[in-house]
C-alpha cells in the first residue's frame, strides 16, 4: 500500500513533513519518500490528512470498566485498594459475562480514540488474564497484559521480611506463561524478599510507586525506606505514578529503568496531586502516559494530554512543550516497551492515526503538536491503522 501526498510527524522527534509518500509492506513502514511511485500496489491519495503514530496508553485497569464512577467521593484506598477497596467487591460480585462486555467496550472506545496499544494491569490471576483475552477477541487493538497473583502481605510480614510461599511462586510461573509480564500492586503489600522474587522473572515488570502521600509515608514507617526505593527491588521495567517521589528517588530511577508512566487525570480525580513533570524531565526520566482505572477515568489520551498540558501551566506558570507531551503517548512509550511502535519511520510497525487537517477543531493547523495535544478528539480522526490494516474508519 502507498499513501500519497500525506503530511506526517516523522521519526523519534515527530518532525513535521508537509507532504510525502509512505509505502507500507508486511505490516511495517517500508519507505517514506516523496519520490515513491506505484507499480501494482494499492495507492491512496491522502492529501489533507496528517499521519501521526498510533497512541499508546501505557497504564490501564480496564477490568474495572463495569464500576464507572462508583463511590466517586470516597477515599483512594476505599475505592481501589487491592485488598479491601470497593473495586474488589464489584469485581468479585459481577458476573464474568458482564465484566467481559464492559472490558470489550473500553477496548473499542480506545481504538476509536486513536489508541493502538494499551498496557493493562490485570488483576485476578490467570482467570483475570483469560477474561481480558476473551474480551479482546475480534478487536484488533494491541494489548500488553501484565498479570498479577492475588498475594498481598501484611505490615508484620513485611517487617519480618517473609518470603513468598512456594505455592504462590508456582502460581507466578504459571501466570507468566499466559501474559506479557507482571503488574505489581505496590511495595507496601510486599516484603523485600517477595519483591526480589518478582525481580527474577524474565518478562516485563511494572509496579505502582508513590501514588499518594499516605503510601509514600507508609513505606518509610514500615521499613525506613522510601516507597520508590523499595519498588526498585523488583528490578522494574517501569514505575507507575511517582507523583510524590523525591528528587533523589527520581535520580535513582532515571539511571536504572526504562521509564515512568504518569497518570495525571487519575491523580487529579483522586485529589492526590499532579506529578512534577518539569523535575522529571530535568532529571532525564523517560516519561509515558496512562489513563489508569476506567472506574475513575475515561481511557482517552487526547483528554490526558490536554489536561497535563494545562494543569502543569496552571500549577507552575510554565508550559510543557506540546511535542514532549505527544512523545509521551507515542515515541517514549514505544521505548519503554522496547517495541517498534510509537514512531512513523522505516522498519516500525504501521500503527498510525489519520487526522483530518481541515476538521472543525484543528483547522487552521498552524502548530500541529499543540493542536493534537489540546484540540484533537475522536471527531478529528479519519481512520486508524494497525499493522498496515485499517481497523477504524476509512480513506
Residue whose C-alpha is closest to residue 368's, from 18, 86, 127: 18
Measured CA to CA, the distance from residue 253 to residue 238 in angstroms comes to 9
DSSP state at residue 319:
P
Contact by Cβ (8 Å): 107, 141: yes
Q: Where are the domains of the chain?
A: 2-54+342-393, 55-337
pLDDT attached to residue 71 = 66
Nearest to 377, CA basis, from 300, 316, 308, 310: 300
**What was the pLDDT predicted at 73?**
66
Residue 67: its pLDDT value, please? Answer: 87
Q: In b/e form, how buried is each residue of 189-203, taking b as 16+ CB within 10 angstroms?
A: bbbbbbbbbbeebee
Same fold, 2-54+342-393 and 55-337: no
**Looking at the domain 55-337, which fold is it?**
TIM Barrel (3.20.20)
| Radius of gyration over every alpha carbon of the chain, rounded to an integer in angstroms | 21
CA dihedral over 264, 90, 129, 182, signed as positive or negative: positive
Q: What is the mean pLDDT of each run of 10 residues along the chain (395 residues)?
A: 98 98 97 89 96 99 90 63 69 89 98 98 96 98 97 97 98 98 97 98 98 94 96 98 96 96 94 91 97 95 97 90 98 98 98 98 97 98 98 97
* CATH, range 2-54+342-393: 2.30.40.10
Q: Is the dihedral of CA 268, 270, 273, 274 positive or negative?
A: negative
CB burial of 324-340 (b: ≥16 within 10 Å; e: otherwise) equals: bbbbbbbbbbbbbbebe
Measured in residues, the chain has a length of 395
What is the pLDDT at residue 39?
74
Do residues 183 and 122 make contact, with C-beta atoms less than 8 angstroms apart? yes
* Contact (CB, 8 A) for 348 and 340: yes
pTM for this predicted structure: 0.96
Q: What is the pLDDT of residue 239?
A: 98
Taking the C-alpha atoms of residue 317 and residue 134, their distance in angstroms, rounded to an integer, is: 46
Question: Please, are residues 1 and 31 in contact by the beta-carbon 8 Å criterion?
Answer: no
State residue 91's pLDDT score: 77
Burial of residue 39 (number of CB atoms within 10 Å: 0-12, 13-18, 19+):
exposed
Amino acid at each position: 500500500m502507498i499513501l500519497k501526498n500525506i503530511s506526517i510527524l516523522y521519526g523519534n522527534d515527530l518532525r513535521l513533513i508537509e507532504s510525502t509518500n509512505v509505502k507500507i509492506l508486511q505490516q511495517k513502514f517500508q519507505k517514506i519518500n516523496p519520490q515513491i511511485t506505484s507499480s501494482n500496489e494499492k495507492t491512496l491519495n491522502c492529501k489533507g490528512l496528517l499521519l501521526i503514530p498510533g497512541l499508546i496508553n501505557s497504564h490501564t485497569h480496564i477490568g474495572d470498566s463495569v464500576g464507572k464512577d462508583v463511590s466517586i467521593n470516597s477515599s483512594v484506598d476505599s475505592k481501589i485498594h487491592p485488598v479491601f477497596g470497593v473495586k474488589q467487591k464489584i469485581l468479585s460480585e459481577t458476573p464474568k459475562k458482564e465484566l467481559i462486555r464492559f472490558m470489550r467496550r473500553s477496548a473499542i472506545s480506545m481504538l476509536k480514540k486513536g489508541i493502538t496499544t494499551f498496557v493493562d494491569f490485570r488483576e485476578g490471576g490467570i482467570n483475570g488474564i483469560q477474561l481480558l483475552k476473551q474480551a479482546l477477541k475480534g478487536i484488533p487493538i494491541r494489548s500488553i497484559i501484565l498479570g498479577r497473583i492475588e498475594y498481598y502481605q501484611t505490615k508484620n510480614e513485611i517487617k519480618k521480611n517473609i518470603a513468598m510461599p512456594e505455592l504462590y511462586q508456582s502460581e507466578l510461573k504459571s501466570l507468566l506463561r499466559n501474559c506479557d509480564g507482571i503488574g505489581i500492586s505496590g511495595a507496601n503489600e510486599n516484603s523485600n524478599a517477595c519483591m526480589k522474587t518478582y525481580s527474577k522473572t524474565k518478562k516485563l515488570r511494572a509496579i505502582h510507586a508513590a501514588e499518594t502521600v499516605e503510601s509514600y509515608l507508609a513505606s518509610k514507617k514500615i521499613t525506613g525506606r522510601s516507597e520508590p526505593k523499595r519498588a526498585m527491588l523488583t528490578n522494574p521495567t517501569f514505575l507507575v505514578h511517582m507523583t510524590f517521589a523525591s528528587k533523589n528517588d527520581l535520580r535513582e530511577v532515571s539511571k536504572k529503568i526504562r521509564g515512568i508512566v504518569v497518570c495525571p487525570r487519575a491523580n487529579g480525580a483522586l485529589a492526590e496531586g499532579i506529578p512534577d513533570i518539569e523535575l522529571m524531565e530535568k532529571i532525564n526520566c523517560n516519561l509515558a502516559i496512562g489513563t489508569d482505572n476506567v472506574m475513575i477515568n475515561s481511557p482517552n489520551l487526547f483528554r490526558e494530554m490536554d489536561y497535563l498540558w494545562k494543569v502543569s501551566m496552571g500549577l507552575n506558570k510554565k508550559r510543557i512543550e506540546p511535542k514532549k507531551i505527544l512523545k509521551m503517548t507515542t515515541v517514549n512509550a514505544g521505548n519503554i516497551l522496547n517495541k517498534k511502535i510509537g514512531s512513523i519511520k522505516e522498519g516500525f510497525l504501521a500503527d498510525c492515526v489519520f487526522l483530518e487537517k481541515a476538521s472543525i477543531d484543528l483547522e487552521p493547523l498552524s502548530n500541529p503538536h499543540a493542536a493534537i495535544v489540546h484540540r484533537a478528539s475522536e471527531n478529528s480522526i479519519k481512520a486508524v491503522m494497525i499493522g498496515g490494516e485499517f481497523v477504524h474508519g476509512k480513506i
